[in-house]
Structure 1
Amino acid sequence: MKKALLVCCIFLGITASGWAQTTATDQEPETLFQGQLTNGFYLAPSAQVSEWQGVSGFMLGGKGAWVLNKRFAVGLAGYGLTSKIHVGEVLIENQTRDAYLQVGYGGVLLEYTPQPARLVHFTFPVIIGIGGGAYTNQALGSRSANTVNYEVFITDTFFVVEPGAHAEINLAKYLRLGLGLSYRIAQGVNLPNSSDKAMSASAISMTFKFGKF
């Protein structure tokens, strides 16, 4: 009887200990970010050179992001083409017309910076979003008799993913300069003289980041 009582007490003790540990674990769950969290942000004008339809073009854009623990950034980014890209002739309402490409894209920005405190460091951004393309009669529009002669023939939207790798230098506490390479992957392009392959290409970019890192 005494042995049975002793075994029962030991069992109850082990159960209580396990319950206490489980309760402590429930109260303090393991998390991806340990310790005190820090917050920051940045705004970043950016210029980019990339190919569209096999022709090099100049793009202007920017980024804005919330920075968590100095390493992880989540925000928005986008670019728009500013160069003249001729795509040839297209059939519009039974007429053959000369067409030029207008295009831009943007979406969610995810970025990881492993060693942000180093003078020169690397950062790895990826943009996931939507692109918009159009064929027009002029590359950027032309003025005639004080009016804008600008006609849109056809438009389209498509999916874009652009991963990259940038080298950054800390110019000042609140300013960074980055030079990087990326590759734009376009999917679902539905324009007469364009394709996914023609709208996908590598890019070289320069970015100035202003903010609290």
Structure 2
Amino acid sequence: MKKNLSVLVALLMSVSINAQVQTPERDNTPSGGYGGPVFKVGTFNGKTGLLSGGRGAWILNHQVAIGGGSYSLSSDIKLDKLSSNENPLYMNLSYQGFEIEYIHNSEKMVNWTVHTMIGGGSVRLLEHNPDVSIDKDMISIIEPGINIDINVCNWFRIGIGASYRIASGLDMTELSNFDINGFAGTVILKFGRF
């Protein structure tokens, strides 16, 4: 009986030790990629608005992602100082560009990333009913940011972070670059091979 008990204890200990030694395997593929939707909440002309869009990137050596993104205002930003009760004016913003991202400790359950987007887009002033464009101008955008990524599974991550939008080149009497600049809270859903 003692011999059987000793063998059983030794067997259980070896299984337990083996389970503790095993760590998640890292994919040794030198490159991968991801894509997914992005949602940003920020201020535009002093009002809170939602930008929605997407980002995709090619990942090199599990550390550097090179790709692009495109974003557009999903919410109406009313320009109170320019609006009358009969014809309210709204601002619309859309931009896209090249994005580069550094990924720190990609294999960890929680990691951080630093990214920058360089691109351009347009700002439009609109009247609703129907959407009539009153004015439009092109802008340049630089948007650095930082995210905390949570590895939900090997093909899906959720990123939560912040960015700061810096606009230049806006030439409208109604709006300035300052009205476009601002912080944004960001949520990204990444699907791919990391």
| TM-score normalised over the length of structure 1 | 0.74
* Structure 1 position 89, deviation (Å): 2.1
* Structure 1 position 137, deviation (Å): 0.4
2:104 to 79, 99, 114: 114
- Pair member with larger Rg: 1
Query: After the TM superposition, which residues 125-204 of structure 1 pair with which residues of structure 2 at under 5 Å, given as runs?
Result: 125-138=115-128, 142=129, 149-204=130-185
**Greater than 2 Å deviation, 4+ residue runs:** none
* Structure 1 position 37, deviation (Å): 7.3
1:61-119 per-position Cα deviation (integer Å, ceiling 9, x unaligned): 110110000110100112110111112327xxxxx953210111110010001210111
- Report % sequence identity: 30
Q: Does 1:98 align with 2:95?
A: no
1:109-143 per-position Cα deviation (integer Å, ceiling 9, x unaligned): 100012101110100111100021100102xxx4x
1:59 to 35, 51, 55: 51
| TM-score normalised over the length of structure 2 | 0.80
Give the gaps of 5 or more residues in structure 1.
Answer: 1-35, 91-95, 143-148
Letter of the 1:118 partner, please give it: K
Paired residues of 1:37 and 1:68 also in contact (CA < 8 A): no
Task: State the distance in 1 between where 2:90 and 2:57 align.
Answer: 33
Which position in structure 1 is the counterpart of 2:82? 89
Letter of the 1:163 partner, please give it: P
Give the gaps of 5 or more residues in structure 2.
Answer: 1-27
Paired residues of 1:137 and 1:152 also in contact (CA < 8 A): yes
Task: State the distance in 2 between where 1:64 and 1:152 align.
Answer: 30
Which position in structure 2 is the counterpart of 1:40? 32
Task: State the distance in 2 between where 1:212 and 1:98 align.
Answer: 46
